[in-house]
Structure 1
């Protein structure tokens, strides 16, 4: 299981804890999913989402990402987030492009003392040619 840790300020968490913002608003503030973040090739969150589609063929990029439904247990500091993101596929040989919307549910935990959101991604199943023989 791949884990991604993203730091946040304690001031952001105080807004959530005091009920001034909902969990989705908190995650929108701290996760790197804005338009400028999505365009960054070093964005680890976007790269983990892309890893699920690396065997799809073509050149694939994420063009848009947002927080969808979020379920969160404030007492346990755990939850599940749905990422809604758009994939753009470019197929050079056929000169074609396609765009798809994807939804992935990811478990997360919040550690307010450390100021860290930890996203837990399922491992990507990869085929090993050694297993074919």
Structure 2
């Protein structure tokens, strides 16, 4: 179970703070956002390594696993409501998504900015590929 948990952590929550940092901050803030995200990540890892042995003793193994399951569930709810799908969006549409109220960003952000998307969304796959080929010729 330790290996399964480690695999899940490495594939998901271990790297999400770096992904979010690289996607949502403007260029002028990424240089400071990366180190801050990394600092919080390693502080959290250090805290977990110190807290889990005590949690096993006081909360038992089942209570500790239940606690981490609840934390994971809260993270899932947060991602569901706060993290939008931005595939195929241009920068202007991404800015429009984050101008929405916080409770609409994750669930409705892509729909509410549908007409503000990138070339594929606005013109279709064929026109977008054609536009890329025209730019390459220039």
The higher-RCO structure (CA 8 Å, 6+ apart) is 1
Higher strand share: 1
After TM superposition, the score normalised by the length of structure 2 is 0.28
The higher radius of gyration belongs to: 2
